[in-house]
Amino acid sequence: MDVKNENGIVTLTLDKKTAKSITENLTELNGEVRNGARALSSVLQQGLYEMENEFRQPPHAFDEHAPRQPSIED
C-alpha cells in the first residue's frame, strides 16, 4: 500500500488483495467502526467491483453507425 499526502489530498494506492482484505475486515467490524471507516469500505468495494466489471460498450452502439439487427437489414 502506498500513501501520498499532497496539498491536503490523501491518495491511497492498493493492490486488489489488500483492498479486499481491508474491505472484509471493515465489514466484519461494521457496528464497531466510525462512519469514515464505513465510507472507506464502500469506496473500496466499489473499486473492487469496477476492477471485475469487464463490460465495455461497443463502439457506435447508439448512433447512426450502429450495427443493424439481422431481422431489420435490407
Per-residue pLDDT tens over the stretch 7-65:
999 998 999 999 999 999 888 888 888 898 899 899 999 989 888 877 777 787 788 87
pLDDT exceeds 90 at position 66: no
Distances (CA, A) of 47 to 2, 19, 40, 69: 16, 9, 11, 34
Report pLDDT for 74: 55
Report pLDDT for 7: 94
Report pLDDT for 18: 92
Domain layout of the chain by residue ranges: 16-54
Report pLDDT for 6: 95
C-alpha cell recorded at residue 55: 463490460
